Amino acid sequence: MSEGLWLWLTLLAIGSTTIMTRGSFILAGEKGRLPPALQRALRYAPAAALSALVMPDLLLDGGAFDPLNPKLAAGGVVILVALRSRNPWLPFILGMAMLLLLRKGFGW
């Protein structure tokens, strides 16, 4: 992990994207408009990015493809719970419970 000053620079760089995107049109202060095609393409960015971050963690174990691993089982529980319940705590509680049960209870 990055240390000290480098880490703060990293946090600052991440923070700059917050102001850059949220302020893009508001700070310009004009009635700017995004080209419709770009606007539609941008809609897919969050789903693609979230999935690109999540899927490697769920499908890889120690860098190798492994469709049967405790994280994927716990991820399945998270998806089922999030689809069926509106309680915001439940996916965290049941997902972590599943992972800990498999790893600590069964030593997987």
Partner 1 sequence: MESSFRRGAREGMRDFLPLSVGLVPWAIVTGIAMRSIGLSPAESMGMNLLVYAGTAQLGTLPLIGSGAPLWLIFLTALVLNLRFIIFSAALAPVFHDHRFMRRLASSYLLVDGMFAVGADKLQRADDPHWRWGYYIVPSVYCWLLWQLCGAVGVFGAGAIPRDWSLEFMTTIALTVMMIPMLRERPMWVAALVGGLGAVLLRELPLRLGLIAGIALGIGAGFIAERALAGRAAR
Footprint of partner 1 on this chain (CB under 8 A)? Answer: 1-2, 7-34, 39-60, 63, 65, 71, 74-75, 78-79, 82-83, 88-89, 91-92, 95-96, 99-100, 103
For partner 1, which is the closer residue by CB, 52 or 68? Answer: 52
* Rounded least distance, CB 106 to partner 1, Å: 14
Q: How many residues does the chain have?
A: 108
Tokens of 66: 């492994």
* Listed residue (71, 69, 77) closest to 54, CA to CA: 71
Q: Give the residue from 92, 54, 51 showing the smallest Cα distance to 72.
A: 54
Nearer to partner 1 by Cβ, of 43 and 106: the residue is: 43
CB of 83 to partner 1, least distance (A): 7
Minimum CB–partner distance for residue 6 and partner 1 (Å): 8
Q: How far apart are CA 67 and CA 9, in angstroms?
A: 37
Whole-number Å distance between alpha carbons of 106 and 102: 5
Nearer to partner 1, 32 or 106 (CB): 32
